[in-house]
Each structure stands twice: as structure tokens, then as C-alpha cells.
Amino acid sequence: MKIVTTIEELRDQLRGQLRTAFVPTMGNLHEGHLSLMRLAARHGDPVVASIFVNRLQFGPTEDFDQYPRTFDADCEKLSKEGVYVLFAPNERELYPEPQEFRVSPPHDLGDILEGEFRPGFFVGVTTVVLKLFSCVQPRAAVFGKKDYQQLMIVRNMCRQFALPTEIVAAETVRAADGLALSSRNGYLTPAERSEAPMLYQTLEAIRRHMAAGESDLAALEAQARQELIARGWHPDYIAIRRRGDLKLPTPTDLGQHVPLLVLAAARLGATRLIDNLEI
């Protein structure tokens, strides 16, 4: 695996490549990330990964400085997966001057759910993704469904800007007890790690209720919130939405069995976890 740290080196390595598959990451890689690399290999060749902790998507009170950085271990894992190039720029390389041009998702998609509780988050995400796409120029790029809203925003951005990059969705990878794999799981204490699968179980319960014919979505959301609060969680949201646009389902949608999903974000101790489940 070749490790490059500058845009010029990256373009030299990829010159003439027309089927590049790309997986952007912030490092601290786990099995979920590695599954993205394997999926990328089925959609293009060579596979390029990036590691860059993007300051633009962290709020002023969030964990940019504490975000786990495990570069040597990450390189070993990527090499074993057959990644051809790892692009690992520093901030000065990717942002040599203040990044005053930014990409703003539409308010009705970028300012709800995660966007409501993390203002500016998706502006930071779309801006760095567009810049990384400009550097790598991939034919395909892989994003996980665990960050469902992010996946949708990036896909819509590519369509509206007519980017020649197919966005491939990867299924969420879970631990044996159902917890969605995440770099932030490492922040959990042993007791919190034992409790953490309850978020997924809560989403599963909502899916079962809806499969049994429950149609009062607000009541299902409120009940799930209260159950988590009673166990010591601090939910930001539990929301049942349409898969296609993350809007609230209408009675007509429910009657026509429009595809839905339930999304959740909640703090357990000092750690904020997110998850979602297609219904």
C-alpha cells in the first residue's frame, strides 16, 4: 500500500485510473470501515482510502482534539485489505487557506435530525467530501448506512453537481449484541458498553410495533424516548421518517406502505451514539 500525504502525490499515483473506488474515513478503523473497503473493491479498482479528521464538521464543544487517532494500526489494517493508496493529508495540505467556499445542504434535509443537534455538521461533511472527490476523482465511493442522513446528503450532492461518482451504500456492521460499530464506542465504560445495545433494541421494538399495525408514530417515538430516559440515556431524537427524503410520513404513506426507517441519537454517559433501522 502506498501512503501519500499531498494532493500532488495522490494525483501522480492515480493518473490514468478510470475505475477508482474511494472510501473516506477519519481513521480509528474498525471492522465496519474494513467492510467498506471490501465493498469498494467490488465496485472499482484500485481502492483508495483516506484518513483525515475534518475540523469543519466538529462543533465548538465536540471532541475534535480527543477524537481517537490510531494511524499506524489503521495502515496495517488497510494494507491487509489490499488498499492501493492511502491519502493521509494534514490540515495545511487540505486547507492551505481558510475554506471560505463551502457546500450547504438544503435546510429541509441538512438542518433536521443530526443537523438540528449538530449545527454546521453537514456543511463540514459535504465540503470535505467534495474536496476529497476533487482530489481522488473516484468512479465510486462507499458510505455506510449507519450515517443514513449523511449518505443521503452526499448522494444528493453528487446528483445535483453532476459528479461522475456513484455513491454505494454499505449495510451497518454490528457487534454480536446488536451495537452498531463506531469509533466512538471506544469512549464507553464497561458498564455503558453493556447498556449500549439497548439503542438498537429500542429501534427493533418500534419496527415490531409497526409490523403489528401500530400507526401512531408520535406515540411510538415518545414511548421509546421515555424508556431510554428511564435507563439513564439522554435522547436527542427518535424519529420515524420516510427513507426517500427523511420527511414525516403521512397517513397516505402509511396506507401505501412507503418505505420508512427509524433514526435515533442519544447520549449514554459522555458518549453520543447514533443508529437507524429500515422498517
Q: Which residues are catalytic?
A: 33
Rounded Cα–Cα distance for residues 208 and 262 (Å): 12
DSSP-based three-state secondary structure for 240: strand
d(CA 238, CA 131): 32
Give the DSSP letter of residue 226: H
Site of grid cell 427523511: 246
Structural contact between residues 254 and 215, judged by C-beta atoms closer than 8 angstroms: yes
C-alpha cell at 261: 426507517
Are 136 and 12 in contact by the 8 Å Cβ rule? The answer is: no
Which single residue is written with the C-alpha cell 453537514?
122
Instruction: Map residue 18 onto helix, strand or coil.
Output: coil
Other CB atoms within 10 Å distance of the CB of residue 127? 20
Residues 6 or more apart whose Cβ sits within 8 Å of residue 118: 59, 62
